[in-house]
Structure 1
């Protein structure tokens, strides 16, 4: 993170309340501060776990790796000053409606936003709903493709100044700017789904935009809900068996041709 983001540790100073459980007296409080804003957005993950040596890590969890004793993973969307996409390519998923997109090797990403006052489901960026029915939530890593979801600033956000990089003393452009350089009036989130490795077969990934008070159990009712369905086209792997068969066939032709030439040479030798 460098000096762009800082973490400050402090102790809980609230008065002890005997009725509250668990006791919060000895808990640590961490404050994350963005000191410099990068041009592009990123996702930060923080883990809460017991103060002991971690066991063997897993890789199919939010933030990449954490052990089985991890009690909590905190996901933070760090917005860059640059919008997630251009206004023309960013799509809105309107409530009581739907949105669809198709990704292939020529088009590897799709950016959409939820209406103001709504939120995205699932909350964890490493998960999504799978299939045309969009009812089964699972890890993106287990869908047979390499992909990620990134939250950033919508192109429809209103700010006091356009996003721009700062100039260094040497005149070169920096990829970071101070947060104070651009004060947002109203910032709306946008989500970019990007594919880095395509599956062998088509995969359907979807997300829901739901009104703030809609519970996860109520999304099937389709009331004040928008489904963003993304079809990721499969890229079949080369057929090694067919290639091997072709190579074998060519080799056999060469062997047969060689045998014919040898036979011809013997006939010519006998005739002579």
Structure 2
């Protein structure tokens, strides 16, 4: 019967919406909320992750697994880990990273104070013996994924008052990241929706009035001095944006001037091919309509 196809489609759509609704109500996001519960390594490998945004993770070993390898020096932070999942070879944690133990809560904390430039992983063994010499020794592996952040080039680091960093954005590159130094760590304007519109950084305005849908995203935690400007659509005319990295004590600043090239600069280079593209697009559109009509006919039992 002709009406069965749309009825099935409607039922399928309704069922899909119900499943999605139930997932949102009962399950929440996959993996749960991060940072609230301390995972326990009891009988199978657990995976954790640290990064510049979340530079600290915690875990526990199961009740019978009272030892952690590599051992942590008493009263100190450990800097050793295993370098592979088999936990045969030991190595050092990345520079600025360490592991500590709280005897009262039985919680281990892995923390880093410096962002590595490359991804990596560290492994630890929870065991019931020290060292685990028996073949039947119980153990559980803790894998800590270490997410690095690409280093920002020196010419995009605003580190000294009186210095100017110049960045140019030309399509198709639509993103630029810069960093404020420790001595000039405060970004001005403070609001991500605001920007200076001149090279002297004096005329403050809304970013959206200069470039539609442009956004400035600032990092958190160890990445709080890292800022990324993203542009969805380039402006028609070349536009100047300016930010100041300031010293909060004396307001001395380093300037970041971002020049965003306008689309008019490249329009003449593409005009010669636009006509051919339009013709091809039109032909392609007619083909899509024709195929869609055939599919509709097959679905509802009609013919063209």
| TM-score (ref. length: structure 1) | 0.42
**Structure with greater strand percent:** 1
**Structure with greater helix percent:** 2
| TM-score (ref. length: structure 2) | 0.38
Say which structure, 1 or 2, has more relative contact order (CA 8 Å, 6+ apart): 1
